Chain A
């Protein structure tokens, strides 16, 4: 008799502990959920359509054969290859996120941080980058301006 009473008590105690645990868990969730949401930044509202380079960026492109522009919510490397063709690649190295540059003399895209090399289509030639750089379309419009479009080439 007393044993079964003890068992009942034990079960009740366990049930109450469970309720208490659930309550504490729920309380913690209500405290931390808003904090975690608060810390999560909103998605950047960059322009989604084609982006035209401003005169300063066009000058920089002509002067050093490449320019890095903020477009499509990313950093885009726009450069002119040996055949004077305009090209655009994601400027963020796929290894550790450094900003790459175009080396006109060697016709390669190079990341100085860990010596990663890509060809002009963004494919990895050497070094530690695990993936190619995303390609974008860049072209000259009717007025001679340079336009980068979100469509991946």
Chain B
């Protein structure tokens, strides 16, 4: 009997029992839109899923040796990294894959946002994706503490302390997260449970829902309607391309893990074990969270001790909460995209967000000085260099936007850049400059809306 016959009879046998034909017919008909924008944006969700699966596999391997405990957490990780055959490789892949998962997730989220793939009927796909982003950050935050080394200890102290600013239940939340008033080994037990059980279960469930939505609705077609070209069949054409990308990702991951097993030594992206955590040692300069939390870390620094009757961290948390809430609600707020029309203002929101995050991240990384800045003069040098770099990157992005995509609405991204310039180049206070730019942008947007309504010309401005 030939291979084809065997496969055919196996398929028939399964089909008789499980009625697979409708499923296969569905897979054959599913198409991926082609033509309006580069296909690369359709692969990033799959790449994120790949890195997550690598995390599960390497995480299970690490669990075979890792022992949570005051006298064992740090020691068992050191044992894995120095004694266990290929332990260093498993740990390096776990760390690299964690960072690359967040990288691909962030690019996936921004590409979805800029291409308006969130518009109806895909609002819940956006929301589940945003929740998955939160879970990914939770994975990073909880996993960071598990080696129980000095850096992770202080980063966790700062990270958990900020929840005390949540109104009413803040202190209770802090106690539940830490297992006490301070970060102790009880905090590690709780983070361990979250990292290896709670978050993976939540992640699998949400990924399932996210993928189910995508399978039911298909991938978002371009905003401007059909490109006139035929779509690419999902199976096997797109699925095989996806698989090829996974192979490339695996090769890249393995190369990085072998060549740089302790990370690229960038701020917030290194995982040297360092010294064991000592809860009674003072914090030392240069303590930073991982790179994807650097912007919040920097924003916390920019708030004064008290403002508008609130403590700085409380107000900072409120601002971050409002920004996150806005980001989650974009599918409902972007009314032009809801009507399948271009929404240049929301494209510009995406770029403004990128510039805002870039500047804060670079500043937190102390770009421009060799040592950790402690004096106002050193901090000013960092702000100046970071502002110059952000503005240069934004100039490049704006040229691409104008040249390739015909964008012509830049109010919010300009406000974000003026904010950076006023603070970094002219020495304004970060929050005062931000408030001035936000007010100016709001005035310009309101004036534009008024002008449009008075001239009663229908449609968006561009």
Partner among A41, A100, A130 whose Cβ is within 8 Å of the Cβ of B283 = A100
Complex contacts, A138 vs chain B, CB 8 Å? none
Q: Could you say which residues of chain B place their CB within 8 Å of the CB of A24?
A: none
Q: A39-B176, A97-B158 are in contact. Are A68 and B301 (CB under 8 A)?
A: no
Q: Shortest beta-carbon distance, A129 to chain B, in Å? A: 6
A100–B284 Cα gap in the complex (Å)? 9
Whether A96 contacts B179 by the Cβ 8 Å rule is: no
Residue A124 CB within 8 A of the other chain: yes
Hey, which chain A residues are within 8 Å of B303, CB to CB?
128
A53 at the interface (CB under 8 A from B): no
Inter-chain contact B304/A128, CB cutoff 8 Å: yes
Question: CA A2 – CA B312 in complex, angstroms?
Answer: 64
**Closest A residue to B180 using CB positions:** A41
Give the one of A77, A91, A101, A114 with max B CB within 10 A.
Answer: A114
Residues of chain B within 8 A of A41, CB atoms compared: 175-176, 178-180, 186
CB within 8 Å of B: which of A67-122? 68-70, 73-75, 77, 91-93, 95-101, 111-115
Q: Does B290 contact A (CB under 8 A)?
A: no
Contact between B181 and A130, CB atoms less than 8 A apart: no
Q: How many residues of B contact A (CB 8 A)?
A: 34
Tell whether, in the assembled complex, residue A128 and residue B282 are in contact, meaning their CB atoms are under 8 Å apart: no
In the assembled complex, the Cα of A112 lies from the Cα of B284 at a distance in Å of 5
Closest to B280 in A: A68
Say yes or no: is A40 at the interface (Cβ < 8 Å to chain B). yes
A-B contacts, 28 listed (Cβ < 8 Å): A41-B176, A41-B179, A41-B180, A41-B186, A70-B280, A74-B181, A95-B300, A96-B157, A96-B158, A96-B162, A96-B313, A97-B160, A97-B161, A98-B157, A99-B280, A99-B281, A112-B287, A113-B283, A113-B287, A114-B301, A128-B305, A128-B312, A129-B305, A130-B305, A130-B311, A130-B312, A130-B313, A131-B305
B residues whose Cβ falls under 8 Å from a Cβ of A: 154, 157-158, 160-162, 172, 175-176, 178-182, 186, 279-287, 300-301, 303-306, 311-313, 374
Q: Closest 6 CB pairs between A and B?
A: A101-B282, A97-B161, A130-B311, A130-B305, A98-B283, A112-B283
